[in-house]
Structure 1
Amino acid sequence: MLKSVCPILPSRDFDATSAFYGKLGFREAARFDVEGYSILVRDNVELHFFNHSKHDPDVSEHGAFVRVDDAADLSARFETIDLPSEGIPRFAKAENKPWGVCELQIVDPDGNLLRMGHIVDER
């Protein structure tokens, strides 16, 4: 039986990653500097990071989709963080997508894309 999934994403700097995600309500649950691994948690979601000091955010293809109860509400909360709408990092407000999901998008300083959303019945 499958229970959950935890994406493993690159981080050039665990301090910067932790600070960025801290603004999104995540806390550092574990950090292993020698091994190059960090785990951030919010509610039932875990984001795992591996140390990759030479990672290029501009060509990153890493990401994850996080199911949430209400993407519009979460989006309104994230808007107060004042992230730009272009570049890296960036934030795109929640909107209903053609594939039946209300979704917001966040790109972190390492170019990792987090799409967060909930299913809507508008298809």
Structure 2
Amino acid sequence: MLTDVHPKLPMRDKAATKNYYLRQLGFVLAGKDAYEDYLMLLKDNIEIHFFLFKDLDPLENAGQIYIRTDDIDALYQSLLDNNIPIHPNGRLEEKPWRQKEFSLLDPDNNLLTFGQSV
């Protein structure tokens, strides 16, 4: 019986990834931060794990996750208010599949798409 999922994304630099998610997106540390090559972050009910991949070419990175939210308008506005860059092709819009979505790219070009049913 499945209960949770914690996606794992690549990171080139733990300090840069930690800084972006904690200071820009409002995540907190989940568990220990004692692992040199691993990072676990939490925000609300979302936990994302990162593994060190120093040779990652961000232009070839296909890492991506889809995060559901219950107040996409407020989330989007809070990111805009804090000057968090939105993906150039990922502005907030209603999609034909009845989701309102927007996307961000983290420092390693992992795509974070946020969505809410409409």
Q: TM-score, normalised by structure 2?
A: 0.89
Judged with a 3 Å threshold, the aligned counterparts in structure 2 of structure 1 residues 98 and 73 are, in CA distance, closer, same or farther, namely same
Q: What is the alpha-carbon distance in structure 2 between the residues aligned to residue 59 and residue 45 of structure 1? A: 25
- Tell me the residue number matched to 1:18: 18
User: Tell me, which stretches of 5 or more residues in structure 1 are unaligned?
Assistant: none
Q: Give the SS at the match of 1:93.
A: coil
CA deviation map 1:33-52 (0-9, x unaligned): 1xx11101101100100001
Number of residue equivalences: 115
Q: What is the deviation of 1:91?
A: 8.3
CA distance in structure 2 between the aligned counterparts of 1:91 and 1:50, rounded to whole angstroms: 27
Question: CA contact under 8 A between 1:60 and 1:111: conserved in structure 2?
Answer: yes
CA distance in 2: counterparts of 1:110 and 1:93, whole angstroms: 19
Partner of 1:110: 108
Please give the TM-score of this superposition, normalised by the length of structure 1: 0.85
Of all paired residues, the percent bearing the same amino acid is 37
**Structure 2: which 5+ residue stretches go unaligned?**
none
Identify, as 1 or 2, the structure richer in strand: 1
Pick from 92, 95, 111 the counterpart of residue 93 of structure 2: 95
CA RMSD of aligned residues (A): 1.7
